Amino acid sequence: MLALPILVGIATSRFVPGQLLLAVAAVAAYLASAALQAWLRARRRPSYVPSIVVYGVATALLGAPLLVIEPRLVLAAIVVVPAGALTLAVARPGTPRELALSLAHVAQASVLVPAAMLLAGETSAWVLGAATAIAAAEMAGSVLAVRSVIRERDSVGFAARSVGYHAAITLAAGVFLPWAYAALGALLTARAAALPLARRRLASTGRGLRPVHVGLVEAVASIVLVAVALAVPLAAGHP
């Protein structure tokens, strides 16, 4: 989930070395958050504290020069702080992990799109907003599609909502974005519909749809999205 938004940000702007620093800082922040969540789930076991400190300090040291290069990156806190608070609240023992947690992770990862683009000098509010919305929509759709064949695999209603979400995103892409994004949306909608059907067909033969297979499908979807973002300028879809 970290690679996709950064790659979309690069594909819709240009590559600059500062984006490599952004990627490393994002990994450090992710590890710090994961360690903090594990610490809370383990009822504050002291053995997790060194990891929290190391990754937290690394995040600060890597993030400081990024803020010097592009001070507007501080605006990411508007999304990261409340989403991070939600992830920590859900990490407490006895708290059920719901869909909201996965969507909070999507929100946090989404800020990497404009961050990468700002580092590259992108100034168009339309392009910044459109690229961020595209990556966020795809990541949220991936959460729904994967959940429809794993946690909610027995819920026909959830699968239908996943397909409906993808169809709505495709319609929006057809209205506001170049045609290639609408075509990609249609492809992702087909994927959202096909995964639950494939799982049920395989289950009827005594086999199951393995998580690794679902992961490969999502990896291909991400690669195609980055390829489209690289090939089709978002400015072409400016209303």
DSSP assignments along the chain, one per residue: --HHHHHHHHHTS---THHHHHHHHHHHHHHHHHHHHHHHHTTS-GGGHHHHHHHHHHHHHHHHHHHHH-GGGGGGHHHHHHHHHHHHHHTSTT----HHHHHHHHHHHHTHHHHHHHHTT---HHHHHHHHHHHHHHHHHHHHHHHHHTTTTT-HHHHHHHHHHHHHHHHHHHHHS-HHHHHHHHHHHHHHHHHHHHHHHHHHTT----HHHHHHHHHHHHHHHHHHHHHS-GGGG--
- Please, what is the average pLDDT of the chain? 92
Q: What is the pLDDT of residue 202?
A: 86
Q: What is the pLDDT of residues 167-210, one digit of tens each?
A: 999 999 999 999 999 999 999 999 999 999 999 888 888 777 88
40: Cβ contacts below 8 Å, ≥ 6 apart: 88, 91, 92, 93
Q: Which of 3-7, 13-17, 82-86 has the lowest mean pLDDT?
A: 82-86
Mean pLDDT on 49-61: 96
In the predicted structure, residue 236 carries a pLDDT above the cut 60 = no
In the predicted structure, residue 150 carries a pLDDT above the cut 60 = yes
Q: What is the pLDDT of residue 89?
A: 83
Reported confidence tier of residue 32, pLDDT bands at 50, 70, 90:
very high
User: What's this model's pTM, rounded to 2 decimal places?
Assistant: 0.92
189: Cβ contacts below 8 Å, ≥ 6 apart: 163, 166, 167, 169, 170
In the predicted structure, residue 2 carries a pLDDT above the cut 80 = yes
Here the tokens at position 127 are 């392009």
Mean pLDDT on 96-106: 82
Domain boundaries, the chain: 1-123, 125-239
d(CA 155, CA 162): 11
Q: What is the pLDDT of residues 129-139, one digit of tens each?
A: 999 999 999 99
In the predicted structure, residue 122 carries a pLDDT above the cut 70 = yes
Q: What is the pLDDT of residue 144?
A: 96
Question: Taking the chain, what is the end-to-end CA distance rounded to the nearest angstrom?
Answer: 29
Q: What is the pLDDT of residue 44?
A: 86
Reported confidence tier of residue 235, pLDDT bands at 50, 70, 90:
confident
d(CA 171, CA 156): 23
Reported confidence tier of residue 96, pLDDT bands at 50, 70, 90:
low
Q: What is the pLDDT of residues 79-94, one digit of tens each?
A: 999 999 888 887 766 5
